[in-house]
Amino acid sequence: MTNQYTLGMIGLGTMGRNLLLNMADNGFAVTGYDKDAKMLQKLEEDGKAHDLKGFASLEDFIQSLELPRRVMLLVPAGAIVDSVIQELVPLLDKGDMIIDSGNSHFTDTSRRATDLAEQGIHFFGMGISGGEEGARFGPSMMPGGDKAAYDAVKPILEAVSAKVKGDPCVAYIGPGASGHFVKMVHNGIEYAMMQILAETYGLLKTGLGYNNEEIYTTFNKWNDGRLKSFLLEVTKDVFKVKDEKSGGYLIDVIKDEAKSKGTGKWTSQVSMDLQLPIPTINEAVSSRDLSKYKQLRVALDAALPHTAEKIQNTAEFEAQLEQSLYFAMITCYAQGLHLLEAASAEFKYELNLKEISQIWRGGCIIRAELLQDIYQAYSQNPKLPHLYADAAIQGKLKEIVPGTRKVVVKAIENGFAIPALASAITYYDSFRTANSPLNLTQAQRDFFGAHTFERTDSEGIFHADWNSNNL
């Protein structure tokens, strides 16, 4: 069993096991390790066609791998990753490599890379998107860090990744923790897209009075057009599923308290650190947090009632809703990509937004037809300062902004909460405003704190005597 396998996987849960099966399908000799005997048994059962075997002994697992050893981790982020690495290192030789494929925070990845490099171990972090099905049949993968380590597994990753027009949905992202950073921002975009779909559902249900069948039909129709995306595809199917217990639709008995694992929050936090605005993503994170106050929401609904009128112009409003959803989708990507550009400069990640938009086109949760337009935008201008600056995207925005405004106004008039949709149009208006009212903010800061200001008519830094006689 010595030096028999090309790659070994630690963590044989759904993602790790399915990725191993994918590798085996593509002709690679792979194995796995897990402390849970049931996971080892499940691997053997699912991998019977390839005679896949796993190990209950970490020592035997390591000895079974080809040199230099390629060890991939798919375990929960945080302390568990550090614990596994601590167990691994004494068993590895210099030149061996560890690939962390979980949702680790990018700062943890940076620390681990530095620590392991000092011990002669190659390390890189790789974000994987696509869930269970993606892992099994072709995910989108975002590896970044040690280039030598990536090159050693590149043939495997390219073989198992999703393909769009023949292109693998994996590429070397850049140095350091860039891979996990890009996956984190991917997840932030995912939060925002899920939120705008939820708000659109709310307007269809409460504003137009659509039942589940009508919502399914509407989403299904939209998914055949420019809104085609993985998230809309799975969202529409939610409205077809019946509940065995109640006999009604399952969506109607699911409690409206949304959970999260933290990656959206991390995206918001780093955007604040970089002073780069991503308000629609932030609103998506906040909306999940606010949803948890169910008891308070119920009490305030009774104490502060508002009777919303049903929106009458159904066909017209439905068309405007499609426009507002498309507008907000463009804005979700625009904010995430703008954050990646800022992070690339700050952390020296050397990110290629064209390649990133390319590998997001297939396999991942945020894949959408729109990504082809985004890929074209960054192909034509790799230094595009913002997605809104692309001429083709501007053409789309000009068409759909009027309908978006009408949706937001009508929703606010009727008391429907649309934090993400409203933030998207406000973000757009803020960016297309040449002269903002924030000159007042600078005046206020200088007035009470002598923080100084710049002038429009001359260079330099100034401070005014706001308490002089000219008041």
- For residue 155, is pLDDT > 70? yes
Tokens encoding 18: 């399915």
DSSP 243: P
**What fold characterizes domain 443-471?**
1.20.5
pLDDT in tens, 213-257: 999 999 999 999 999 999 999 999 999 999 999 999 999 999 999
pLDDT at 121: 94
Give me the mean pLDDT over the 79-86 stretch: 93
Do 442 and 463 meet the contact criterion of CB atoms below 8 Å apart? no
Give me the mean pLDDT over the 399-414 stretch: 96
pLDDT in tens, 267-294: 999 999 999 999 999 999 999 999 999 9
Q: Which amino acid is at 211?
A: N
Q: How confident is the model at residue 312 (pLDDT cuts 50, 70, 90)?
A: confident
Q: How confident is the model at residue 132 (pLDDT cuts 50, 70, 90)?
A: confident
pLDDT at 393: 98
Give the three-class secondary structure for 144: strand
Does residue 190 have an active-site annotation?
Answer: yes
pLDDT at 2: 65
Q: Count the neighbouring beta carbons within 10 Å of the beta carbon of residue 427.
A: 20
| Domain 7-176 top-level CATH class | alpha beta
Mean per-residue pLDDT over the chain, rounded: 94
pLDDT in tens, 418-470: 999 999 999 999 999 999 999 999 999 999 999 999 999 999 999 999 988 66
Do 58 and 33 meet the contact criterion of CB atoms below 8 Å apart? yes
Do 8 and 30 meet the contact criterion of CB atoms below 8 Å apart? yes
Which of the residues 190, 283, 322, 341 is marked catalytic? 190
Does residue 406 have an active-site annotation?
Answer: no
pLDDT in tens, 53-66: 899 999 999 999 99
* Angle, in degrees to the nearest 10, between helices 178-202 and 230-238: 40
Q: How confident is the model at residue 471 (pLDDT cuts 50, 70, 90)?
A: low
Task: Label residues 260-286 b or e (16+ Cβ within 10 Å = b).
Answer: eeebbbbbbebbeeeebbbbbbbbbbb
Angle at 388 between CA 364 and CA 274, to 5 degrees: 75
pLDDT at 384: 96
| Domain 183-431 top-level CATH class | mainly alpha
Do 284 and 194 meet the contact criterion of CB atoms below 8 Å apart? yes
Query: Where exactly are the structural domains of the chain?
Result: 7-176, 183-431, 443-471
Which of the residues 45, 53, 183, 396 is marked catalytic? 183
Q: How confident is the model at residue 308 (pLDDT cuts 50, 70, 90)?
A: confident
- For residue 68, is the peptide bond before it cis, meaning its omega torsion is within 30 degrees of 0? yes
Do 397 and 327 meet the contact criterion of CB atoms below 8 Å apart? yes
pLDDT at 306: 85
Give me the mean pLDDT over the 188-211 stretch: 97
- For residue 1, is pLDDT > 60? no
Is the full-model pTM beyond 0.85?
yes
